[in-house]
Amino acid sequence: MDYNNRDSRVYREHDDASLRDIPLVKDKADNWEGYDTVFIGYPIWWGIAAWPVDTFVKHNDFSGKTVIPFATSASSGLGDSGRQLQQMAGTGNWLEGKRFPSNVSESTVQQWVQSLNL
Ligand SMILES: Cc1cc2nc3c(=O)[nH]c(=O)nc-3n(C[C@H](O)[C@H](O)[C@H](O)COP(=O)(O)O)c2cc1C
């Protein structure tokens, strides 16, 4: 995870996308059909969504669901990260989403969720 170390795993995966196909411990949610809104949260890595989340996005069908990406980062914005995940998913009604600083407070996140009027 040391992105200042060229020999670290995350650095090698960043340089070679073929190394990123990381199986998640779990990429299916229980009672998936029971949800009509899905939040996809991730840290920003080198300007994009941390790639372990790719597997979850690729392995689930978002048809008929509203999908809201959100991220934490040190300073980068959300950028194209949400749109890239949307393309990987291929299904779902994806909203613009939101980036938070990594030390965001719980109340700030709660206010954002309430402002969505879901
Ligand atoms: C491999 C790696 C790459 C990162 N790249 C960025 C980046 O491009 N821009 C940025 O603002 N923060 C970057 N960060 C900082 C993370 O986004 C930040 O640590 C995370 O959102 C906060 O989660 P944490 O508290 O679990 O670390 C990076 C962190 C790691 C580990």
Q: Is 43 in the pocket of ligand 1 (CB under 6 A)?
A: yes
Reported as half-sphere exposure (CB side, CA atoms, 13 A), residue 104 has a value of 19
Tell me what pLDDT residue 27 has.
Answer: 87
- Ligand 1 pocket check for 104: Cβ under 6 Å: no
Ligand 1 center from residue 76 Cα (angstroms):
9
Which residues have CB under 8 Å from 68's CB, separation 6+?
37, 38, 39, 40, 94, 95, 97, 98, 116
Q: What is the pLDDT of residue 22?
A: 73
Residue with CA at minimum distance from ligand 1 atom 18: 73
102 CA: nearest ligand 1 atom? 22
Can you give the pLDDT at residue 113? 96
Average pLDDT, the chain: 94
Q: What is the pLDDT of residues 3-38, one digit of tens each?
A: 999 999 999 999 999 998 777 778 899 999 999 999
Question: What residue segments make up the domains of the chain, in order of their start?
Answer: 35-115
Share of the chain above pLDDT 70, in %: 99
Q: How far apart, in whole angstroms, are the C-alpha atoms of residue 82 and residue 94?
A: 8
Q: Is the CB of 3 under 6 A from ligand 1?
A: yes
CATH architecture of 35-115: 3-Layer(aba) Sandwich (3.40)
Distance 43 CA to ligand 1 centre (A): 6
Is 44 a pocket residue for ligand 1 (Cβ < 6 Å)? yes
